[in-house]
Homo-oligomer: A and B are copies of this chain.
Amino acid sequence: MSDGPDDGRRRRERESLADALALSRSSLGVTTPNPPVGAVVLDPAGAVAGRGATEAPGGRHAEVVALDAAGDRARGGTLLVTLEPCDHQGRTGPCSARALAAGVARVVYAVRDPNPLAAGGAETLRRAGVDVAQADDDEVAAAEQGPLRAWLHRQRSGRPYVTWKYAATLDGRVAAADGSSRWITGPESRHHVHGRRQEIDVVVVGSGTRAADDPSLTARSDDGAPTDRQPLRAVMGLTPVPPDAAVRGSDGRFRHLATRDPAEALAMLGDVQHVLVEGGPRLAGAFLAAGLVDEVEAYLAPIVLGDGRSAVQGAGVGTLTDAHGFEVRENATLGRDVYLRMTRRTA
């Protein structure tokens, strides 16, 4: 989209689309199998009239939430949305029809819908006389690499997006010589991890880590209480999970993935978008060796052990040029620790 005569309008639209993207984060982990979308409606004068994010399956799409909030002020206004409005009659009716009924004059969307069943919303709106535009390349990239990345990956590849998360020392250890590992990182890092657990669908550990640490894998607030939104908890491996294992919990949100094959484990999970692999070293190695790690989240504690288990064991790499390569996307300080988010290197 090139600069139009009305730069003020475009600036407001950019701000509102950024707002819609931020809103969509609140939908992460809630919407599966639907995409986590955000939407903002501006009235004809350019003032914000409605904001929304996709609700849980069966609930409203982001566009509908924002249009409901805007009411009559949407007429002649602009709808900004992080994903092309859907055009299909799902449980909620097409968003394209809803936008037409609301009388919006202009629609700006970031990511084109790759799902052939749902796509076509932009074209339907255009044919009906609405001014439809795709956002600028940088806005599209921000949406694609941000909250929509796991859903898009699922649409394009047919398998969930896999994030491998670990917490290690400067020398890459995840436990000391005596096996002690609580806590390598500080409270700020652990708070961050629990936030992330609320944004994904499934958290997976290997049966070795299950036996060694007996983790609950719940998302918890700083006072230790479970949060409202909980991921599915899964243990992968052929070893049975004992009836009294903490990971089983009492909410029915536990799965034993009785396989050693990461691809098979992902297939067992069905139509989920985002899987968080939390360890241990052999499970991480198996996912890496299978080419199934799309993203890495590293919580690095500025401490040195010099002995103990390394973060990854056995990733199918014999020589340096075969190393698994990633690209740093985020580098932040969390208390004393350093947090790095990386995605698979493509070039």
Contacts and interface: CB of A to CB of B under 8 A. Distances in A.
Contacts of A336: 327-328
Interface stretch (A147-155, A254-262, A312-320): A312-320
Interface string A279-290: 000001100110
Contact of A180 (B173, B177, B320, B340): B320
B302 A342 contact: yes
Interface string A176-188: 1110111110000
Interface string A322-347: 11111110010100101010100100
A310 B171 contact: yes
A315 B310 contact: no
B304 A323 contact: yes
A82 interface: no
Contact of A328 (B182, B296, B302): B302
Given A168-B172, A310-B310, A323-B305, A177 B333 contact: no
Contacts of A314: 306-307
A172 B317 CA distance: 14
A284 B172 CA distance: 14
B306 A313 contact: yes
A302 B288 CA distance: 13
A169 B323 contact: yes
A170 interface: yes
Interface string A156-177: 0000000000001111110111
B305 A315 contact: yes
Contacts of A140: none
A39 interface: no
Contacts of A118: none
Contact of A307 (B173, B180, B315): B315
Nearest to A175: B320
A285 B306 contact: yes
B298 A176 contact: no
For A169, A184, A298, which residue has the most chain B Cβ atoms within 10 angstroms?
A169
A250 interface: no
A321 B305 CA distance: 10
Contacts of A345: 302
A326 to B, nearest CB: 4
For A182, A289, A314, A322, which residue has the most chain B Cβ atoms within 10 angstroms?
A322
A326 B170 contact: yes
A311 interface: yes
A21 to B, nearest CB: 24
Nearest to A326: B302
Given A303-B326, A306-B312, A314-B306, A319 B171 contact: no
Nearest to A340: B338
Contacts of A181: 320
A324 B342 contact: no
A273 to B, nearest CB: 24
A321 B315 CA distance: 29
Given A180-B321, A184-B320, A304 B310 contact: no
Interface of A: 168-173, 175-178, 180-184, 284-285, 288-289, 296, 298, 300, 302-307, 310-328, 331, 333, 336, 338, 340, 342, 345
